[in-house]
Chain A
Amino acid sequence: MTVEPILAVDGLVKHFTVKTARGVRAYKNTVQAVSNVSFSVRPGETLGLVGESGSGKTTVGRCILRLIEPTAGSVRFQGEELVGMRAERLRELRRDMQIVFQDPYASLDPRLTVGTSIAEPLEVQRIPGDHRARVKELLELVGLSPDHSRRFPHEFSGGQRQRIGIARALASNPKLLVLDEPVSALDVSIQAGVVNLLADLQDQLGLAYVFIAHDLSVVRHVSHNVAVMYLGKLVEVATAETLYERASHPYTRALLSAIPVPDPGVERGRRRIMLEGDVPSPIDPPSGCRFRTRCPKAQDHCAVEEPALVDRGQGHPVACHFPD
């Protein structure tokens, strides 16, 4: 079963240069937002990309679509290299890959009606056909009423806006969607609705997803594979089942232990692994293993040598000197 991946990211690096003030002096610093990240997604499948706030998930997503230029590495979409691609070809390809943004309040132009926003990709990509009918169809597809197209974003709730964002992303019939924390900004009560919608859409349309989230509970039910990020690096990649049953990186285990369990009996006896301290700054990441400052299993060796992301024979790469 070797299907060509629709998206293959290899050795992706993104550094930002920022000016910071310390006292009255200004320094130029490099933020190592993403360091050497590789993964691939097959058509119709979902990769869950999980990590705490600031771990570089959005940056990965923006690099995939080349909304920002990667510092190094390669992004191949349907076998074509995106990095360094000509602007015209890239514009054409954007028909096939889309993104749903993290903040449903900021990702819709407040001055445009919902219908205009959803039709924008059709216009930009010069897709022939009746745009109005297509907008109605899309609104229905994401569970909104077709009459909503003449309203403005401020008249909708967060969940509805996120559905509008999804409808817009789907307008040009893409094959790949990057979903940047599509439900984090929403109330827990409506998160499930949007996640289920996304799962249904995937079944109907055969989409591939890069599903970004900051905890493992959200991606659990929708992902085929899960990649865990910490401070710009991947620490563990596995199929969803493997990860939830046999996670072997200490960071993944800590994330897993933070998910509440529905059964009260089990919940009470559950041992949570508490992570101490804050995430270190990506400007000055720790030497060796980046997780060592908070790792319960850290040894002296961890500060000296950086653990490589190696597959120990089970199709389950882990970056740790002392995996479980």
Chain B
Amino acid sequence: MFRFVMRRLMWALPMTLIITFVVYVALRVGTDPLASYLRVNQRASEKKIQQYIETNGLYEGFGGYVRGYLQWLQGFVTFDWPRSIKGSREVWPEFRDAMFNTLRLGLTATFLGILIGLSFGIFVALKPGGLRDATVSTSSFVAISTPPYVSALLLQLLFAVYWSKWFGQSLLPTSGVYPPGHRGFDLVLMIKHMILPVTVVVIQVVAVYARYMRASLLEVLNSEYMRTARSKGISERRVLVRHALRNALIPIVTVAAIDIGAILGGLIITERIFSYPGLGDFFLGAYDNGDFPQMMPWMFFFTLVVIAFNLLADVLYAVLDPRIRLG
């Protein structure tokens, strides 16, 4: 086991470097950091521009890209990050705050979503084919077909705009973490601001996991081995709890780890609509400005997360399923 994990870990490092290098080149080509800088800072002096090129390592040609990447990487790991294009601000503090905001939103939503989704899945798998099954399956299908910004728009329309029209005061806030001008920490306010975005993400996650769980559990329940367990007179309840759930969760755990990209993707969109200052909002803001010094750390961070979760999925699968071959 240890060797398996070690081997995968040894792979992860070169993978990270290769991918981030590709991303680096893509961003250099795609967002043209120099042009973006000139666009945002139209009256920058020649000296300022030269300084910007040097701190960011914006050399030309393939060799220049490699050199620039290495320089960037060195600065990145030593926490000597170049300042943002717009307003020449420090990137790390904003990135860190955004990260915590996203973690708060993402963890809450994922946790709630998976919990509710799995329960729904179990609930319908126990009685497949009936009205209950049809209702849950159809609603999850609708939810999957609804992009997050659409549900967000509809929720905002209902709970903020029309609620205030009908009852004089909107039920839930639609943007930010706190109302404008608020200072300090206020748990109740914060939760209130999180309800709508969390709901939007939860709807998606619930739909996906309810379907996974239903399919997975049904497969296990119909397997030969479950029939044997039942025929041996083990009670339905014990069969379910002892064997079926455990086996049904194995593929789901793996999927969950790989799915992290999809969940993060939903988060990015949701954050944007609710002007929630998380990593998604951070990225889109940086993208709009072509802000290379802000985007690169973001990309590096996400590459790490994606690779880590891929690795985690492999390992979890191996641990949970003794039949798996580790080739």
A interface, CB within 8 angstroms of B: 19-21, 24-26
B325 within 8 A of A: yes
Tell me, rounded to whole Å, the shortest Cβ–Cβ distance linking A8 to chain B.
39
Residue numbers in B under 8 Å from A24 (CB-CB): 1, 3-4, 318, 326
By a beta-carbon cutoff of 8 Å, the part of chain B in contact with chain A is 1, 3-4, 318, 324-327
Q: How far does the alpha carbon of A20 sit from the alpha carbon of B326 in the complex, in Å?
A: 9
B321 CB to closest chain A CB (Å) equals 12
Can you list 17 A-B contacts (CB < 8 A)?
A19-B325, A19-B327, A20-B325, A21-B325, A21-B326, A21-B327, A24-B1, A24-B3, A24-B4, A24-B318, A24-B326, A25-B3, A25-B4, A25-B326, A26-B325, A26-B326, A26-B327
Taking A21-B326, A24-B318 as given, write out 4 further A-B residue pairs in contact, using a Cβ cutoff of 8 Å, ordered by the A residue number.
A20-B325, A25-B3, A25-B326, A26-B326
Residues in A with CB closer than 8 Å to B327 are 19, 21, 26
Say what secondary structure dominates the interface of chain B. loop
Say how far B326's CB is from chain A's closest CB, in angstroms.
Answer: 5
**Residue with the greatest number of chain B CB neighbours at <10 A, chosen from A20, A21, A24:** A24
Contacts of B3 in A (CB 8 A): 24-25
A146 to B242, CA, bound (A): 57
Contacts of B1 in A (CB 8 A): 24
A-B residue pairs, 9 tightest by C-beta = A21-B325, A26-B327, A19-B327, A24-B1, A24-B326, A24-B4, A26-B326, A21-B326, A24-B318
- A19→B326 CA distance, assembly (Å): 9
Contacts of A25 in B (CB 8 A): 3-4, 326
When distances are taken between beta carbons in the complex, the residues of chain A under 8 Å from B325 are 19-21, 26
The interface residues of chain A lying within 8 Å CB-to-CB of B324 are 21
Measured between beta carbons, the chain B residues less than 8 angstroms from A19 are: 325, 327
Q: A25 vs B326: C-alpha distance in the bound complex, in angstroms? A: 7
Chain B nearest CB from A28 CB (Å) reads 10
Name the residue of chain A whose CB is nearest to the CB of B1.
A24
Q: Provide the residues of chain B in CB contact with A20, threshold 8 Å.
A: 325
**A24–B318 alpha-carbon span in the complex (Å):** 8
CB distance from B315 to the nearest CB of A (A): 10
Give the distance in Å from the alpha carbon of A19 to the alpha carbon of B325 in the complex: 9
Alpha-carbon gap, A21 to B327, bound state (A): 7
Closest to B319 in A: A24
Q: Tell me the minimal C-beta distance from B311 to chain A in angstroms.
A: 15
Residues of A contacting B318 in the complex (Cβ-Cβ under 8 angstroms): 24
- The answer for the CA separation of A37 and B325 in the assembled complex, in Å, is 33
Q: Residue of B at shortest CB range from A23? A: B1
User: What separation, in Å, do the CA atoms of A55 and B4 have in the docked complex?
Assistant: 34
In the assembled complex, the Cα of A109 lies from the Cα of B90 at a distance in Å of 64
Task: Report chain B residues within 8 Å CB of A26.
Answer: 325-327
By a CB distance below 8 angstroms, the chain B residues around A21 are 324-327
Nearest Cβ in chain A — how far from B85, in angstroms?
Answer: 48
CA distance A21 to B321 in the complex (A): 13
Task: Name the CB-closest residue of B to A21.
Answer: B325
CB distance from B267 to the nearest CB of A (A): 34
- Shortest B320–chain A CB gap in Å is 13
Minimum CB–CB distance from B256 to chain A (whole Å) comes to 22
Instruction: Write the nearest CB–CB distance from A197 to chain B, whole angstroms.
Output: 37
Please name the residue on chain B nearest to A28 by beta carbon: B327
Provide the bound-state CA to CA distance between A24 and B324, in Å.
9
**Least Cβ distance of B83 to chain A in Å?**
47
A20 to chain B, nearest CB (A): 8
How far apart sit A20 and B4, CA to CA, in the bound complex (Å)? 14
Q: How far is the CB of A24 from chain B (nearest CB, A)?
A: 5
Chain A nearest CB from B55 CB (Å) reads 47
Smallest CB separation, B316 vs chain A (Å): 13
- Chain A nearest Cβ from B90, distance in angstroms: 45
| Cβ of B56 to closest chain A Cβ, rounded Å | 44
In the bound assembly, the distance between CA atoms of A21 and B325 in angstroms comes to: 5
For the complex formed, measure the closest distance between the CB of B101 and the CB atoms of chain A, giving whole angstroms.
Answer: 39
Once the chains are docked, how many angstroms separate the CA of A26 from the CA of B327? 5
Chain A min CB distance to B11 (Å): 14
Cβ of A320 to closest chain B Cβ, rounded Å: 38
In Å, the complex CA distance between A26 and B325 comes to 7
Measured CA separation A21–B326 after assembly (Å): 6
Q: How far is the CB of A214 from chain B (nearest CB, A)?
A: 26
Q: Report Cα–Cα, A21/B1, bound state, in Å.
A: 12
How distant is A106 from chain B, measured CB to nearest CB, in Å?
Answer: 22
CB distance from A120 to the nearest CB of B (A): 36
A-chain residues with CB within 8 Å of residue B326 when the two chains form the complex? 21, 24-26
Bound: A25/B324 CA distance, A: 11
Interchain CA distance A25-B3 in the complex, whole Å: 8
A19 to B327, CA, bound (A): 7
Residue of A nearest to B318 (CB): A24
Identify the closest chain A residue to B323 (Cβ).
A21
Q: State in angstroms the CA–CA spacing of A19 and B324 once bound together.
A: 12
In the complex, how many angstroms separate the beta carbon of A31 from the nearest chain B beta carbon? 16
* Alpha-carbon distance A21/B3, docked complex (angstroms): 13
